[in-house]
Amino acid sequence: MKKILVIGGTGDQGHPLLHRLEKAGMKPIAAQRNLQAFAGTEFEHIETVSADIYDEASMIAAAKGMDAIAASLPFVFDREKAAEIGKNIAAAAKANNLQKIVFNTSCFVADYDNDNPAHDGRREIEAAIIGSGVPYAIFEPKVFMDNMIRSWNKPSIVQNGIFAYPANPELLISWICLDDVAAFMVEALEKDDLPSGRYAIGGPEPLVGDQVAEILSEAAGKTITFKSLTPDEFASAMSLLVTGSAKVEPHGLYYGMASFYRFYNDQPVSPLIADVEDMATHFATKPTSLLEWARRQDWTDPSDPALATRMAGMQAPG
C-alpha cells in the first residue's frame, strides 16, 4: 500500500482526493499544523502528521516513511512565500527519496510571468518541484465546476436563478469538477511509467456563461440566467460576503482573485480551454460533463455542501 502525504487535505480540493486515495487502496496521511482539524468530520479516521509548509525541517520530518506527496495548496499572494513553499516540498521529497510529487496548481499557469503574484508564485512552486530531481506530475486545471456550489455563488443560483461569474460573455471555459482533478492525481500516483511533466486538464467541453446557465437550468429544472460580473464587481462582492465591507484593499486577497479573471478576460484566445485529446494520450480518466456533474447537485439547497467540513478544520482547537 502506498503511503501518500497529502498537503491541503482539509480544503475543498483535498476532500475528494482523500476519498479517491482510499478508494484506490492507498493510505493518505494528512500533513497539518492542527492535528485535530478532522475531528467530528467524515475524515476523522484519516491519519495526520504535524507539518508546516513554511518550515523545511517540519516538512522533511512529515515526509519520512512516505512514498509520495500529493499537494493542493492555498493561493499565496506573495511570490517569495510561494517560492518558500515549493522549496520545502521539494526538500521533503528529495530528503526522503520519495517516488513522486503530484501537485495540483488549482488554476491555469502561464508559461511566463504575468505580474500576478499568485500565478507567478505557482510558477515558483513548479520550478522547485521540477528542479528537485524527484519524478513529478503537475496538474494545471482550468476552472472548477465546484465554484458554482460554494457559498459565494450557490445562493444566487438557488434563490435568484442567477449564475454570476467574473467571466466576460465570450470567455470559453473547460470547467472541471474537483472529483476529476482528484482522479487525475491518483492515476498519476498509480502510474509508475508516467513521464514527469506539466499536464493541463479541464472538462470535455469549453462553454461560455450563457451555455453554462442553460445546462444549470436543465439540471435544476428551472430557468437560470448568466450574469457577467467585472472582476472588480466580483472582488467587491467577495469582500462584502466575507468581511462585511465591499471595499477591496489594493494587492489584498480579493484584489488578487479579481486579477486572475482580469487576465483571463483580456487574452485574445481563452487560456481556459482544455485539449481533451492531449489529456487522453496520457490518462484513462474521462472528465465529467457539466450536465452530468450538475445533475448530482442539490439545486434546492443554497448551502455549500463542503462548508461544514472546511469550517471544522479551520475552527478546531490547537
pLDDT values of the chain reduced to their tens digit, one per residue, 318 residues: 699 999 999 889 999 999 999 999 999 999 998 888 898 899 999 999 999 999 999 999 999 999 999 999 988 889 999 999 999 999 999 999 999 999 999 999 999 998 888 899 999 999 999 999 999 999 999 999 999 999 989 999 999 999 999 999 999 999 999 999 999 999 999 999 999 999 999 999 999 999 999 999 999 999 999 999 999 898 888 877 777 887 887 767 778 888 889 999 999 999 999 999 999 999 999 999 999 999 999 999 999 988 777 776 555 433
Cell of 187: 492515476
Are the C-beta atoms of 142 and 201 separated by less than 8 Å? yes
Task: Provide the CATH topology of domain 3-144+177-203+271-288+306-315.
Answer: Rossmann fold (3.40.50)
Q: With residue 282 as reference, give the H or E element that holds it.
A: helix 276-282
C-alpha to C-alpha distance for 261 and 254, rounded to whole angstroms: 11
C-alpha to C-alpha distance for 164 and 6, rounded to whole angstroms: 32
Q: CA torsion angle for 7, 12, 15, 20 (degrees, to 10)?
A: -90
Domain locations in the chain as residue ranges: 3-144+177-203+271-288+306-315
pLDDT at site 309: 75
Are the C-beta atoms of 216 and 224 separated by less than 8 Å? yes
pLDDT at site 275: 96
**In terms of C-beta density within 10 A (0-12 exposed, 13-18 middle, 19 or more buried), how is residue 168 classed?**
middle
Rg (CA), the chain: 19
pLDDT at site 317: 36
